[in-house]
């Protein structure tokens, strides 16, 4: 599961992007730095800009202006007209609908993500996420929880430098959410990379995140450790 | 069945087959661009491709004859450089047939591509796969019913094509006389038995093809 390791991973984001939400036009403005091995939750109501920010980091949506720098590599710079494609960012993006390819079995979905064919690695991931007995099934026959585990395994098979998870637990019931939070933790610990996860469930944030960034109408309202944010700075979601 | 009857059916199959093959090769890239790219005058391009659905075949046939004429630019170019005249030839009918069948190939392919969730493409890109790999490994396998529909509809439309063929190709046995022309010709000569033979064959082939297309309905077939 080794990947190219820097001494200290760092993601610098300073972007702006016009967004159209149900409440009209708004501007997504985010300026932050994310440190090594952090599991950062992007928290906020629908339309706050969480998914847009994730898509911008993945290279799927282009910001209007700004910079994104990962470990001294410029992914996006509007002034210098740099915009690295999603293929060249080496990120692992887990979609809300999991985006498993229906024409491939579980095993083939995972194998597809590999840059170099490695059957042993695929077997390891299948075992790790308890998917070995489902490896010949097609995604259409899997439950929501099973799909989520396949999607996580597929993302990890690509050995990404950055994990981006877009509301990975939103489609699941309460019991399933709890058990799969552990899978996400497992994935994050395994890869030892910066992980950004979109969530609008503050319990989930407290459970998983090392830090949280709260977005409201495209603007960062507050950021910090979940306990600090929810207890001290963001009473709207006070839990303690 | 006489040799003329067989030759006419073979010619009909050859025209429909070549039209389908050529249209698939040029239609897929066009459908891909229309499905996934934004560009100026896209609506005009889509309208032009759909024109054969509403335009009388004689209109296209007339313009094709004008274009093929050695008195005009394209026709003169072909005569001067290749010593070729397309009017009343198989090749001329084939080009006209390709143009006239454009929407039957492109629209099902375009609809098939747009019906695939955007997240599949994006997931493939974020996994480091190129557009081409994504097309071959992800998109095409997930739109097989649409491909079958596009190919079947194009072929079926071609074997029944009449207006463009008679305008551009006339009625030359072995060269441009396809089954639909032969039916007209046999009826004019009051040879109803031969007309019935041709008609029955076309009826059965069209029925089989459409049955195939509609049997795909449960498999997310996209028609128009």
Give CA–CA dist B157/B176, Å, rounded: 17
Looking at residue A51, its pLDDT comes to 92
Report yes or no on A75 lying in a domain: yes
In this structure, what CATH number is given to the domain that contains residue A100? 3.40.50.300
Looking at residue A237, its pLDDT comes to 59
DSSP state of B166: H
Q: What is the pLDDT of residues A82-115, one digit of tens each?
A: 999 999 999 999 999 999 999 999 999 999 999 8
Residues of B in contact with A95 (CB under 8 A): 119, 122-123
The nearest alpha carbon in chain A to B128 belongs to: A87
Q: Give the total number of structural domains in chain A.
A: 1
Of B117, B125, B142, the CB nearest to A86: B125
Interface residue A113 vs chain B (CB under 8 A): yes
List chain A pLDDT tens, one digit each, 240 residues.
444 455 567 899 999 999 887 778 889 999 999 988 889 999 988 888 999 999 999 999 999 999 999 988 999 999 999 999 999 999 999 999 999 999 999 999 999 999 888 999 999 999 988 899 999 999 999 988 899 889 989 999 999 999 999 988 776 777 777 777 888 888 788 778 899 999 888 788 888 899 999 998 888 988 888 888 887 766 665 555
Residues of A in contact with B138 (CB under 8 A): 101, 103
**Residue A33: its H or E element:** strand A24-35
**Containing domain of residue A48, as a range?**
10-237
The nearest alpha carbon in chain A to B143 belongs to: A103
The nearest alpha carbon in chain B to A110 belongs to: B127
User: How many pairs of residues across A and B have Cβ atoms under 8 Å apart?
Assistant: 55
Report yes or no on A5 lying in a domain: no
Give CA–CA dist A38/A188, Å, rounded: 9
Interface residue A110 vs chain B (CB under 8 A): no
- Segments of chain B with pLDDT less than 50: 221-224
Q: Is A131 helix (H, G, I), strand (E, B) or coil?
A: coil
The nearest alpha carbon in chain B to A56 belongs to: B126
Tell me the nearest-neighbour CA distance from A95 into chain B, angstroms: 7
Domains of chain B and CATH, by start: 3-219 (1.10.3720.10)
Interface residue A93 vs chain B (CB under 8 A): yes
Residues of A in contact with B130 (CB under 8 A): 87
Residues of B in contact with A99 (CB under 8 A): 117, 119-120, 122-123
The position carrying tokens 């994006």 is B122
Sheet holding A24-35, edge to edge: A82-83, A73-77, A65-70, A10-21, A24-35, A219-224, A211-216, A39-43, A194-199, A162-166, A91-94
Interface residue B219 vs chain A (CB under 8 A): no
Q: Kindly determine whether residue A60 and residue B119, on different chains, have CB atoms separated by under 8 Å.
A: no
Residues of A in contact with B112 (CB under 8 A): none
Report yes or no on A4 lying in a domain: no
Rg of chain A (C-alpha set): 18
Tell me the nearest-neighbour CA distance from A203 into chain B, angstroms: 27
Q: Kindly determine whether residue A93 and residue B130, on different chains, have CB atoms separated by under 8 Å.
A: no
Q: Helix axis angle, B179-188 relative to B3-36, nearest 10°?
A: 130
The answer to whether A26 and A19 are in contact (CB under 8 A) is yes
Answer yes or no: pTM beyond 0.90: no
Q: Kindly determine whether residue B126 and residue A103, on different chains, have CB atoms separated by under 8 Å.
A: no
Report yes or no on A101 lying in a domain: yes
Report yes or no on A96 lying in a domain: yes
Looking at residue B224, its pLDDT comes to 42
Interface residue A95 vs chain B (CB under 8 A): yes
Residues of B in contact with A87 (CB under 8 A): 125-126, 128-130
Interface residue A75 vs chain B (CB under 8 A): no
The nearest alpha carbon in chain B to A97 belongs to: B119
Q: What is the pLDDT of residues B102-131, one digit of tens each?
A: 999 999 999 999 999 999 999 999 999 999
Greatest Cα pair distance, chain B, in angstroms, is 66
Report yes or no on A122 lying in a domain: yes
Q: Kindly determine whether residue A101 and residue B138, on different chains, have CB atoms separated by under 8 Å.
A: yes
Of A59, A103, A158, the CB nearest to B127: A158
Q: What is the pLDDT of residues B47-80, one digit of tens each?
A: 999 999 999 999 999 999 999 998 888 889 998 8
Report yes or no on A1 lying in a domain: no
């Amino acid at each position: 599961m080794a990947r190219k390791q820097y001494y200290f991973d760092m993601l610098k984001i300073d972007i702006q992007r016009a967004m159209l939400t149900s409440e009209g036009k708004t501007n997504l403005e985010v300026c932050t730095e994310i440190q090594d091995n952090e599991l950062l939750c992007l928290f906020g109501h629908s339309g706050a800009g969480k998914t847009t920010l994730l898509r911008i980091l993945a290279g799927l949506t282009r910001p209007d202006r700004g910079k994104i720098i990962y470990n001294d590599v410029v992914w996006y710079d509007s002034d210098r007209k740099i915009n690295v494609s999603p293929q060249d960012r080496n990120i692992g993006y887990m979609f809300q609908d999991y985006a498993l390819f229906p024409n491939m079995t579980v095993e083939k979905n995972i194998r597809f993500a590999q840059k170099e064919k490695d059957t042993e690695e695929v077997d390891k991931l299948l075992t790790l996420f308890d998917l070995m007995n489902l490896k010949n099934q097609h995604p259409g026959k899997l439950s929501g929880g099973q799909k989520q585990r396949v999607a996580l395994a597929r993302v990890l098979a690509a050995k990404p430098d950055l994990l981006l998870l877009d509301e990975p637990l939103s489609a699941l019931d309460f019991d399933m959410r709890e058990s799969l939070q552990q899978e996400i933790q497992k994935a994050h610990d395994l890869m030892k990379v910066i992980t950004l996860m979109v969530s609008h469930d503050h319990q989930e944030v407290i459970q998983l995140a090392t830090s949280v960034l709260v977005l409201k109408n495209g603007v960062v309202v507050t950021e910090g450790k979940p306990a600090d944010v929810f207890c001290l700075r963001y009473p709207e979601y006070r839990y303690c | 069945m006489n040799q003329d009857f067989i030759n006419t059916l073979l010619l009909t199959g050859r025209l429909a087959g070549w039209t389908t093959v050529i249209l698939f090769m040029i239609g897929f890239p066009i459908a891909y661009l229309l499905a996934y790219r934004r560009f100026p005058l896209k609506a005009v391009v889509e309208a032009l491709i759909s024109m054969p659905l509403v335009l009388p075949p004689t209109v296209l046939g007339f313009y094709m004859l004008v274009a093929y004429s050695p008195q005009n630019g394209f026709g003169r170019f072909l005569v001067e450089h290749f010593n070729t005249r397309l009017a009343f030839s198989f090749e001329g009918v084939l080009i006209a047939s390709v143009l006239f069948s454009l929407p039957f190939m492109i629209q099902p392919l375009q609809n098939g591509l747009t019906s695939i969730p955007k997240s599949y493409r994006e997931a493939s890109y974020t996994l480091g796969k190129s557009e081409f790999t994504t097309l071959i490994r992800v998109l095409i396998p997930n739109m097989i019913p649409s491909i079958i529909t596009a190919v079947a509809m194009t072929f079926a439309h071609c074997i029944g094509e009449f207006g463009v063929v008679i305008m551009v190709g006339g009625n030359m046995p072995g060269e441009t006389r396809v089954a639909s022309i032969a039916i007209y010709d046999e009826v004019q000569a009051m040879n109803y038995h031969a007309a019935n033979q041709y008609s029955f064959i076309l009826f059965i082939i069209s029925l089989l093809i459409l049955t195939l297309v509609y049997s795909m309905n449960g498999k997310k077939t996209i028609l128009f």
